[in-house]
Structure 1
């Protein structure tokens, strides 16, 4: 399972209205980004919260708006299949920047997936501490549930290796494994 983080606001129930014309999944739940809304009432039922191996992950609205400081399920777009977990964080991070202007640090308590650092702290397969590029972890997101299934089925069951960088974001110092060994 994956472990990611997002900021929480206040509790409310799921809404079955569709004020922003969010797309709906096969169960009639709306899904989309919290960035597109101006109020809690306009949030979709499933809120995009990053990705797991290139597949978009969503939080239930009630989890997104619930108490901070806890782990909640990360769902596929169907709103039923759990693909990982998310940590509902409570603080906004101001990340330092390296000499190339890239932000770096832990993604554990980011306010949203988009607000995480460009270089995420990680420990390589050999135990070396370094950073992975956010874009290397996230990959390109599928444009439909069908494309997501294709991507998921084409992935190696053992996962994949990506470079582990020094804080400069250029010097490769090791390897980080994404997925199951």
Structure 2
């Protein structure tokens, strides 16, 4: 009986060892397959200018590392303007050169604000602060600091400041033609974005 018990113990031990080794090998095989099947990183397909520099919008990049060499910031006299990536990522608020698509000819300047992606929020959950601190128009706060026509410091809603946005070239022409040469007035709010404390003038002279 004692010999039988020893034999059983050896058999059970052997089965346990086989199970453990098999489990480890199975895990390694599964891990290797899952690693090989991971989706590759998606890189923006930015075009290149004649100097080999990539150019495009920040909207297409999912991280700082994927930003193009020349970042589109707007147009001057119907010429697309770009800032260098190194200028865009600078920490200090300053004016930087605005280049054409070839990154050679300077067509103007662009104000880069100190990057601030963590705007504070008021009690209504709206972000507020200076538009100069935004990395791009898309990252501006909901309430933008402004000075009213009578010198009162307050905030304007970004949507009011941006105004009606065209959905087509025809819309853009219609909106442009409908604008008053003297500009327009929009409400100036307190930091909570609820109480109107003055008037801010947009456009015109």
Q: Same fold (TM over 0.5)?
A: yes
2:67 aligned with 1:40? yes
Q: Going by fraction, where is helix more abundant, 1 or 2?
A: 2
Q: Alignment partner for residue 107 of structure 1, among 118, 122, 131?
A: 131
Secondary structure of residue in 2 paired with 1:95: coil
* Bigger Cα Rg: 2
Superposed CA deviations along residues 51-75 of structure 1, whole A, max 9, x for unmatched, are: 9xxxxx99623x1525243155699
Cα distance change on mapping 1:163 and 1:64 into 2, 3 Å: farther
How far 1:149 sits from its partner (Å)? 2.2
1:135-146 aligned at under 5 Å gives the runs 135-146=159-170
CA contact 1:47–1:64 (8 Å) conserved in 2? no
For structure 1, the 5+ residue unaligned runs are: 1-13, 18-30, 52-56, 76-81
2:99 aligned with 1:70? no
Q: Going by fraction, where is strand more abundant, 1 or 2?
A: 1
Relative to the length of structure 1, the TM-score reads 0.62
Cα distance change on mapping 1:151 and 1:86 into 2, 3 Å: farther
2:18 alignment counterpart: none
Moved over 3 A (4+): 71-75
Aligned residues: 139
User: What RMSD in Å do the two structures reach over aligned CA positions?
Assistant: 3.4
For structure 2, the 5+ residue unaligned runs are: 1-46, 101-106
Relative to the length of structure 2, the TM-score reads 0.56
